[in-house]
Amino acid sequence: MTQKIEITPNHTRIGIHYFTDSLHYRKKDLETWLPKLKSLDIGWIVLNASQEQAVPEYFLSGLLKESIQPVLQMNYALETPPKIAEINLLFEAYAHWGVKYIIPFDRPNVRKSWSAAGWARQDLIDRFLDRFIPVAGLALQHGLVPVFPPLEPGGDYWDVAFLKSCLEGLQTRRQDDILDNLVLAAYGYTYAKDLNWGAGGPDRWPEARPYSAFDKSPDERGFRIFDWYNAIVSSVTGSTCPIILLEAGRISDHAGAKDIPTEEAQAATNLAIIRLLESDLVENPRDPKTTLDPLPANILACAFWSLAAQIPEETPFSWYGLDQSPSPTVKAIVEWQSTWIKTIPEFLAEPGAKDSRPGQEDFYFDPAMDFDEVKTAVPKSIEEDKLAAKSIPPEEEPGQFIIQHYVLLPAYDWGIPDLYLDAIRPFLKKYQATMGFSLQEAAHAAFVTVIGGEDLFTDEDLDTLRFNGAVVERINGDGTSIASVLEQR
């Protein structure tokens, strides 16, 4: 029985695709690109790897030394999958060098990934699992995370149906090790749609149907593909798993010339995604009067397409041109980074406080919902937090508050209800209040708005805040009623 491999989140979820060939793994290439990656706060990089030639150790070590996590895209052929004995030493070496994530296959739900005869057979799911399971098992033996391969959004075999059948197949085959260490890859194509296209998944868009026209109903064919995959994983396993987004910001890998955006338009799209990854409150580039839905916490990494152009056609999507000159995307990121500072309240930056990212069960500070000057925190546990809220640090007397206005939200084991977030966003943006989920943090505020009924926060909890000198109000109801009350503030 393989133990669950610890998913160690990086300091940032921002990633990028490296060159698509194997010709740029020289020391000179590392010296050229590493400073650029660091300056843009890149924490993840997708590297093309092969069965025949390993990515050099010095290249991987150079990245890891700078806290940049490589994700190896192996793309083994499905019709001629690798023999376990042939890749055993390779996986052992990668694990020894510090690699964590490998993606062994690509798009098993499209016809071109199989031979004509192989695609025509009816047992496609079983034959894919026959190939994936041995490779995944070998990876787990060496301490690597075998990432479930990205599917073609839509695809010849509809991707959400393919994913659901594969997960059910893993359960039927009792592949608990693989399911316990499940990490998904997904293509974060925009298909030239609004970044909120399909947000909320099948619960919000129940009329979506496989193989339907793009404009009939929002579906998973867009940047918010993870909402749909989260719903599938939850329906089968009862939980969620980390997701790595690939080729983010790209329209698709088969976009026609008429679909190619200007570099400036692409920069706006990329910057909006980056701000979402950094938990900023982001105006919708297509409709500035609205904001984009925040990203779920289980997005482990988001790799943009791509670092540098190799042909002129790639220039609009590449962060550096054919001559290595920075694109409008890079310029926009640098400008934004110079003005945006992620602030952590002083009382959270104490010994023992942990930075939280998807995959950590015991966490304290979580910047996953920070936007602009709105700060959030998630408690280690509800009981510990309530005990801590009953006392104020010695240096802070009642009436001396370091937070002016705090909006206290309920947090559940499965995540944060969208209805609460949607309801309070305009209020937070208007008043720049601090939003969080911690009674302990709320105890440092002069005014506390509590969202939720007594089943979520008891009257005793609120009395504790009042004892500390805060003015406390409770707002209860559904998302619409909460939004209506806050709108009148």
Residues 353 and 237 in one domain: no
| Structural domain for 58, as ranges | 14-339
Output the pTM of the full model: 0.72
Residues 272 and 236 in one domain: yes
DSSP secondary structure string for all residues of 136-147 = HHHHHHTT-EEP
Phi (first) and psi of residue 146, to 5 degrees: -80, 105
Residue 127 amino acid letter: R
Of 339, 371, 392, the residue that ends a domain is 339
Residue 122 falls inside a structural domain: yes
Residues 100 and 130 in one domain: yes
Of 339, 357, 372, the residue that ends a domain is 339
Residues 102 and 166 in one domain: yes
Residues 305 and 427 in one domain: no
Residues 193 and 305 in one domain: yes
For the domain that residue 96 is a member of, what is the CATH number? 3.20.20.80
Of 339, 358, 393, the residue that ends a domain is 339
What Rg value do the Cα atoms of the chain yield, rounded?
23
Q: What is the pLDDT of residues 317-369, one digit of tens each?
A: 999 999 999 999 999 999 998 887 554 333 333 443 333 333 333 333 333 33
Residue 403 falls inside a structural domain: yes
Residue 187 falls inside a structural domain: yes
- Cis? peptide before 306, omega within 30° of 0: yes
Which residues in 426-468 belong to E strands, given as ranges? 434-436, 445-451
Residue 239 falls inside a structural domain: yes
Residues 171 and 241 in one domain: yes
Residue 394's pLDDT is: 41
Residue 482's pLDDT is: 76
Residue 2 falls inside a structural domain: no
Residue 375's pLDDT is: 39
Q: How many CB atoms lie within 10 A of CB 430?
A: 11
Per-residue pLDDT of the chain (489 residues), as tens digits, is 667 887 877 789 999 999 988 889 999 999 999 999 999 999 999 999 987 788 999 999 999 999 999 999 999 999 999 999 999 999 999 999 999 999 999 999 999 999 999 999 989 999 999 999 999 999 999 999 999 999 999 999 999 999 999 999 999 999 999 999 999 999 999 999 999 999 999 999 999 999 998 888 999 999 999 999 999 999 999 999 999 999 999 999 876 656 788 999 999 999 999 999 998 889 988 888 889 999 999 999 999 999 999 888 888 899 999 999 999 999 999 999 888 755 433 333 344 333 333 333 333 333 333 333 333 444 445 455 555 555 544 444 444 567 888 888 887 655 566 667 777 878 777 777 888 888 888 888 888 889 888 888 888 888 888 877 788 888 887 666 677 777 666
Residues 323 and 397 in one domain: no
State the Cα–Cα distance between residues 253 and 189, nearest whole angstrom: 8
Residue 25 falls inside a structural domain: yes
Overall domain count for the chain: 2
Conformational region of residue 352, where left means phi above 0, alpha means psi within -120 to 50, and beta covers everything else = left
Distances (CA, A) of 95 to 99, 123, 400, 448, 450: 5, 33, 52, 48, 47
Residues 165 and 262 in one domain: yes
State the Cα–Cα distance between residues 421 and 418, nearest whole angstrom: 5
Residue 389 falls inside a structural domain: yes
Residues 332 and 368 in one domain: no
Q: How many CB atoms lie within 10 A of CB 165?
A: 19
Residue 430's pLDDT is: 72
CB 353 within 8 A of CB 362: no
Residue 1 falls inside a structural domain: no
Residue 445's pLDDT is: 84
Residues 291 and 374 in one domain: no
The b/e string for 230-256 (b: 16+ C-beta within 10 A; e otherwise) is: bbbbeebbeebbbbbbbbbbbbbeebe
Long-range contacts of 168-175 (CB under 8 A, 24+ apart): 168/236, 169/125, 169/126, 169/129, 170/129, 170/133, 171/236, 171/237, 173/129, 173/133, 175/133, 175/136
Residues 81 and 223 in one domain: yes
Q: Which of 232, 203, 197 is nearest to 217 (CA)?
A: 197
